[in-house]
Structure 1
Amino acid sequence: MREYAPSSSVGLTLYKLVKRQMLAGLSAGEWKPGEVIPAEKQLSQRFDVSIGTLRKAIDELVAENILIRHQGRGTFVAMHSREQHLFHFFNVVRHDGLKAPPDVALVQFAKTRADKKTCEKLGIASSAKVFKLTNVLRLNNAPVQVDEITVPEALFAGLSESQLRNRPSTLYSLYQEAFGLNVIRIDERVRATPADEEQARLLGIAPGTALLQIHRIAFSYNNQPIECRVSYLDTRHYEYCPRVAQ
């Protein structure tokens, strides 16, 4: 793992430095999703810190759902499961509070060049190539949300329509398993918007119906943005309810 230069450590406590170095290793693919990380003694020697300092760094990574402790087995790099996606990244619930995994259908997939705003959000070069896809999410056999998703071609080289249609689990599981990109947090902003003709058609509503527009940026390790998404939620029977951080 590349160690950080002293100049990058100004103002950081020792355990924060260890955490940063561990994130660098995760970002570089040194420890892959589902794999156990080295024993605490080995890591404390590697970073030249006490076991207590190391554990504090690991505690934060566990609290952020980047690592997972399994009693008697060790500490593992988190993997995306359908359940994890549902409770950490899917923030739609029925008005009575019921939360269920959606059925997702791909309706459009293309490779194109990103506009300036998307390039800024993803931190990529102007007019860089991206993959754009549109999904319709259904709950209780009714369409409730349209997702318009953009990812950089440079990070998702070879992404195909077949992969998207035939993936066995969630989209974020595909990112992780096929491209080594682990979504560890999201940033979302919401506003109201009227449905345009295409959104109305996909959701089975009248054009102009009020929708909740949700702007999301998904981040991997070291705050690397890997996905830009705009969702359109029909709130007649469902609502946006983000998970409160613990």
Structure 2
Amino acid sequence: MTWMTGMPGATTVDDGGAKRHNVGAMQRAAAAIFAPIVAGARATPLYRQVKSALLRAIESGQCQAGAALPSEAALAAALGVSIGTLRHATDDLVAEHILVRRQGRGTFVAVHNADRFMFQFFHVERSDGLRQAPRVELLAFERVRIEEEPALALGLKPGEPAIRIDNRLLLQGKAVIHDQLTLPATLFKGLTEKRLRERKSTIYHLYQTEFGITVTRAREHARAAIADRSLSRLLGVASGAPVLVVRRTALTFGDKPVEYRISTIDTARHEYVHLLSRPA
């Protein structure tokens, strides 16, 4: 039997003594990344300290997107905590879509893909409940000096270098959403129009795999507005028609802002639908 955890030094072959070797390899891999948590050293609950340790390892790239974590036993031993405490921490991270459990295979660092984008970050569906991934048309890609509104959202000063991206999103073959994204240029060095056009999956997958930036959640504000002439041309709506404007600040670990997005939605046949849930 061949088995791999996705962590350094944790591959074994055959059965017999291989199980003992595998356990030892996982323990060494975990110990190389995690240090024991000193109980009582901080007022923070122990499971939250474990959660912070896991987040630091993911953020630093020591536990990479798509990789399996060491076993619960190996992790608990490396961190010096009980398996129950470790599970409390990993349960939180699974609920936050940072980790994902796969039955019979273990716990993995979540990867941004189309399914996750649709579940966590895309909330527009047709009024009859039809939900589909949008087709994205890139309208513009340019390097700019950031304006006051996105600068405030991203914690930058007006005039700092930024990247601005304009997209039109089509649902069921009709233009429904205009997105304008602003990115801090310092976080996305090397991003070009070609790389953006040729990405293999969602834009958040591009951030994660090519720039080491994982969007963990987003803060949104929505308000009603009316379409101006520019939007009328982009979405094919009448000038003065009602639209919904959603301002989103995408956040990475530590709630650091990495993207500011203004989405303008034609609500004639589509709605903004968000499933609310109580924190775990």
Fold conserved between structures, TM > 0.5: yes
Distance 2:163 2:253 in 1: 21
Deviations 1:105-138 (A, max 9, x none): 0001111121233222112345321110010000
Shift, 1:2, TM fit:
8.8
Match of residue 114, structure 1, among 142, 146, 155: 146
Count of equivalent residues: 244
Unaligned runs of 5+ in 2: 1-32
Residue 220 of structure 1 corresponds to 252
Deviates more, 1:226-235 or 1:50-59: 50-59
Superposed, which structure 2 residues align to 1:61-210 within 5 Å? 61-210=93-242
The one-letter code sitting in structure 2 at the alignment partner of 1:15 is Y
3-state SS of 1:100 partner: coil
Deviations 1:15-51 (A, max 9, x none): 0111012111111111111011122222223322112
Distance 2:157 2:56 in 1: 23
Match of residue 57, structure 1, among 65, 77, 89: 89
Residue 274 of structure 2 corresponds to 242
The one-letter code sitting in structure 1 at the alignment partner of 2:204 is Y
3-state SS of 2:194 partner: helix
Structure 1 length-normalised TM? 0.92
Deviations 1:201-234 (A, max 9, x none): 1101222221100011111122121111000000
Deviates more, 1:43-52 or 1:176-185: 43-52
Superposed, which structure 2 residues align to 1:14-25 within 5 Å? 14-25=46-57
Distance 1:63 1:12 in 2: 20
Retained in 2: the 8 A contact 1:148–1:229? Answer: yes
Retained in 1: the 8 A contact 2:34–2:79? Answer: no
Whose Rg is larger?
2
Distance 1:194 1:26 in 2: 42
Distance 1:41 1:16 in 2: 18
Residue 28 of structure 1 corresponds to 60
Match of residue 12, structure 1, among 44, 47, 54: 44
Retained in 2: the 8 A contact 1:87–1:243? Answer: no
Q: Does 1:38 align with 2:70?
A: yes
Distance 1:187 1:238 in 2: 21
Match of residue 230, structure 1, among 237, 243, 262: 262
Retained in 2: the 8 A contact 1:95–1:239? Answer: yes
